[in-house]
Structure 1
Amino acid sequence: MSMTHRLGKNTGVASIAAFFVFCLIAFTLATDTFLTAGNLLNVVRQSAPLLIVATTMTLVITTAGIDLSVGSTLALVGALAAIALHAGVPDTIVFIGGLVVGALIGLINGYFIAIAGMPAFIVTLGTLSIVRGIALLITQGYSVPVDGNGWFVELGRAWFLGVPLPAVIAIAVLFAGWVILRHTRLGRYIVGIGTNAEGVRRAGVNTRSVVIKVYALSGAAAGLAGLITTARLGSGSSNQGVGFELAVIAAVVLGSTNLFGGRGTILGTLLGALTIAVLGNGLILVHVSPFYTQIIQGAIMLFAIWMNTRIFSPQRRRKG
């Protein structure tokens, strides 16, 4: 493969990489505190839930799907974990249970999308509301404090070889996502479904099973993110993860995963998520109002989607 062709295939990733480096340089020059080890490690720790869920969202979007329920799943799992710990349930059971609850929500999404044939946007918009409502119901709108005597809180606060444990977990999830997408049969099916689902089905692949697995993974990742967030903050709340799904989708699309399916990149997702995290952190350090931060992030997401449709739309793929 020629260098020109390789660069052509990875234009989106190269673009976000360049923008990421630009942000690093700009904030380094604008403030003395941005490039310190403490601040950078804090950015990585806080972005761990985003990185984890964005990895599985990359798989979902590569199938030409979407999962809007991840923020609500994060909140529900976090709230349930805090309530269970407060009731004396062992930390290990709480951890496994959180992953199972997240995966079950994903399985429900997958069933209605793959089996019932409903649009992913409508299904996950419905579960977004239902799951958030359940979280509000069980907490009555209050934060539930976490008992810090067990190992659970270390999930969000511990360090491993000088790196925050949430960041280590996020790296492991990113690596697993990269392996799945690039080096497994499931990954080839995911890309194939996003490109031509009917053709993959006629080739003998159980496309429904693949779609259900992808949404189950998305739900489990959101559950893991909820556990880490609750452990780091020391409480579970129904208000956690509000707007989280938008940040996740922005990270994936900004990383040049094709919004129409058929093309996904974990490296691009990593760069997209870190760019969003760096922007949020850097704008705060230069004393920009949080309200402007939301406006800027929304504008970047709009620009990323515009670029995505310009570069990776089905019409342009046919012309290529």
Structure 2
Amino acid sequence: MSGRNLRRQPLRNPGFWADFLIEHAQVLSIALFFVLCCLLFAVFSPVFLMPGNLLNLLRQDAPMLIVAVAMTFVITTGGIDLSVGSIVALTNALAAIALRAGLPWPLMALAILLVGALIGAAQGWFISYQKIPAFIVTLAGLSMLRGLALLLTKGYSIPLPPHGVFLELGRGWLLGLPVPAILACLVAASGLVLLARTRYGRQVVAVGANAEAARRAGMPAQRVIASVYVLSGVASALAGLVIAARLGSGSSNAAEGFELNAIAAVVLGGTALLGGVGTVIGTVLGALTIAVIGNGLILLHVSPFLTQIVTGAIILLAIWLNARVFARLTVTRRKA
């Protein structure tokens, strides 16, 4: 039998497709749900599929997508980061303060990313090396960092200089696409390669599946766990820069509830809350689904508060499917 026939044979095997569907069931389900949402809103609102609305949707969703990609690594290790919204607010405010003080924007951007990395490293140290639960550490971070942002701004928005290259980070266009959307795509592509194609990504998955077994196999489990919070901090700082540039101001009230949307996007995409399974593609689809639901409901003149109800219901459904339906399908297939 020729090499070409050997390569084609698995594609003709029904068992191959059954295994493929079960293995990727959650990503395929969120992809199908995303398409159905788009079709539904397109039918009831002719504005939905207009290029201007879609590009605006991508621009507004970019910061959340950036954070959600990093959150995928955190949750894949079995952790959680509730402080991302507060990091966004703090770095958002610090960016405005630094620019108002006359600091050149490239230097300011590097400093803000470093601040995000240091916050993530501090939280990662408590979680990984001091064995304090991630929920407790990042919940404390959520409160302290938001409070620090309020202290620095005294609760007011700090306007950025009206004209500057930095504003292009949130308002600019490149090749007909919003710069924030391009930046989010680059982050998502980098996260996909890092998680699926590198040794570090395999370590993240292994640590999430069984940290003790990974440690005994020679993996630096503690360092890996700490590193994902550094990634989360840097991503949150980048999102803070993008939001500041788009809104033209820094505010301690920015990104309220941000952490819930990021976690929802990751869970909807099929990343296991208990760790050991992560998918960046699923996270991207989950983030876009949440953005489409919010945008579509606004176009249909539905109360914006309904978005939270719908998002919560979808998260509950996704967790139920994860715990019951997909797990049962996997066990049944393995027995067969």
Into which bin does the TM-score normalised by the smaller protein fall? over 0.9
Aligned-pair RMSD on alpha carbons?
A: 1.4
Give the Cα–Cα distance (whole angstroms) in 2 for the partners of residues 38 and 51 of structure 1. Answer: 19
1:131, 1:273 → 2: CA distance?
A: 24
1:311 positional shift? 4.9
User: What percentage of aligned pairs have identical amino acids?
Assistant: 57
* AA in 2 matched with 1:31: S
1:172 corresponds in structure 2 to 186
Is the CA contact 2:22–2:329 (under 8 Å) kept in the aligned structure 1?
Answer: no
Please tell me the residue identity of whatever aligns with 1:199.
A
2:32 aligns with: 18
Give the distance between the partners of 1:310 and 1:271, measured in 2 at CA. 21
Dislocated runs of 4+, deviation >6 Å: 315-319
Rounded Cα–Cα distance in structure 2 between residues aligned with 1:288 and 1:92: 41
In structure 2, distance between residues paired with 1:37 and 1:43: 10
Within-5 A mapping of 1:1-320: 2-311=16-325, 320=334
Question: Which whole-Å CA distance do the structure 1 matches of 2:36 and 2:232 have between them?
Answer: 31
What is the CA-CA distance between 1:302 and the residue it aligns to? 2.1
Offset, 1:198: 0.5
Could you tell me how far 1:225 is from its partner in structure 2?
0.3
CA apart distance, 1:6: 0.8
TM-score by length of 2: 0.92
Give me the whole-angstrom Cα distance separating, in 2, the residues matched to 1:127 and 1:262: 25
Partner Cα separation in structure 2 for residue 302 and residue 82 of structure 1: 38
Question: In 2, Cα distance between the equivalents of 1:223 and 1:138?
Answer: 16
CA contact (8 A) 2:22 2:326 kept: no
Q: Judge conservation of contact 1:253–1:308 (CA < 8 Å) in 2.
A: no
In the alignment, the residues of structure 2 paired with residue 149 and residue 167 of structure 1 have an alpha-carbon distance, to the nearest angstrom, of: 21
CA pair 59-41 structure 1, distance change in 2 beyond 3 A: same
Do the aligned partners of 1:258 and 1:312 also contact (CA within 8 Å) in 2?
A: no
Q: What is the number of equivalent residue pairs in this alignment?
A: 319
For 2:131 and 2:197, the matched residues in 1 are separated by 29
CA distance in 1 between counterparts of 2:156 and 2:331 reads: 52
Task: Using structure 1 for the length normalisation, give the TM-score.
Answer: 0.97
Return the alpha-carbon distance in structure 2 between the equivalents of residues 317 and 19 of structure 1. 21
Structure 1 residue 303, shift from structure 2 partner: 1.9
Deviation at 1:310, TM superposition (A): 2.5
Q: d(CA) in 2 for partners of 1:247 and 1:142?
A: 25
Deviations 1:229-283 (A, max 9, x none): 0100011111011100000000000001111100001110010000000000000
SS of equivalent to 1:153: helix
